[in-house]
């Protein structure tokens, strides 16, 4: 399984337009691409300066003709602080280059050793708090996180500098309860 990832840089302008139609002060807080069971989706999360609890998720459901766009308003009842913004200038290296580099340097060997792995996710996140301590990465650093995994199974997670494209860390999990959708270890912003 060598997932083919779309360019988040190419999708970003449309995602931002959708978000600015929702709130004219909308700003991006994270983005990701998931390859699951032959389905490929991209998503961007936006916050607004009007209320730290409000958010908008812009989904690109990729298909053979291109993609469909879906919007989902979300609210975080416990959030009292604004999420930090991730600007387009904060990720000089695009998703396609990161996915290919990680596959070539780490993913290919991992997938050969673990043929049961059938899912992948590429996330653009800001590392903060306990996640910086757990990974040894700088607090407030924006990174790409490439994960190859079998749900509730073996996982390889590789951290890539969002500016240089260099691999700056990795984690391996044996079969356990790791699930990128619910794993709070990275303190990812969700709504």
Closest CA to 15 of 39, 40, 35, 42: 42
**pLDDT for res 15:** 97
**pLDDT for res 12:** 96
**pLDDT for res 131:** 61
Distance, in Å, from the CA atom of 29 to the CA atom of 73, rounded to the nearest integer, reads 14
Distance, in Å, from the CA atom of 42 to the CA atom of 20, rounded to the nearest integer, reads 18
Q: What's the order of all strands across the beta sheet hosting 119-126?
A: 66-75, 51-63, 39-48, 27-36, 119-126, 142-149, 155-161, 167-173
- What DSSP designation does 175 have? S
Residue with tokens 């931002």: 16
CATH numbers and ranges of domains, the chain = 8-75 (3.10.450), 88-173 (3.10.450)
Distance, in Å, from the CA atom of 102 to the CA atom of 122, rounded to the nearest integer, reads 10
**pLDDT for res 183:** 44
Residue 40 pairs in a beta bridge with: 35
Q: Provide block-wise average pLDDT over 10 residues at a time, the chain (191 residues).
A: 74 96 95 79 92 90 87 80 88 94 94 90 83 69 91 86 94 68 45 52
Rg (CA), the chain: 16
């Amino acid at each position: 399984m060598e997932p083919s990832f779309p360019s988040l840089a190419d999708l970003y302008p449309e995602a931002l337009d959708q978000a600015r139609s929702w709130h004219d002060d909308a700003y991006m807080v994270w983005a990701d691409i998931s390859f699951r069971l032959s389905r490929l989706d991209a998503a961007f999360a936006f916050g607004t300066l009007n209320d730290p609890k409000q958010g908008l998720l812009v989904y690109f459901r990729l298909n053979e003709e291109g993609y469909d766009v879906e919007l989902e308003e979300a609210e975080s009842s416990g959030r009292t602080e604004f999420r930090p913004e991730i600007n387009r200038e904060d990720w000089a290296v695009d998703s396609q280059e990161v996915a290919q580099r990680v596959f070539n340097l780490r993913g290919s060997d991992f997938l050969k050793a673990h043929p049961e792995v059938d899912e992948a996710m590429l996330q653009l996140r800001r590392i903060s708090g306990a996640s910086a301590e757990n990974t040894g990465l700088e607090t407030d650093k924006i990174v790409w996180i490439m994960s190859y995994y079998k749900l509730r199974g073996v996982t390889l997670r590789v951290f890539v500098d969002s500016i240089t494209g260099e691999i700056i860390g990795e984690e391996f999990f044996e079969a356990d309860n790791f699930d990128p959708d619910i794993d709070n270890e990275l303190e990812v912003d969700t709504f």
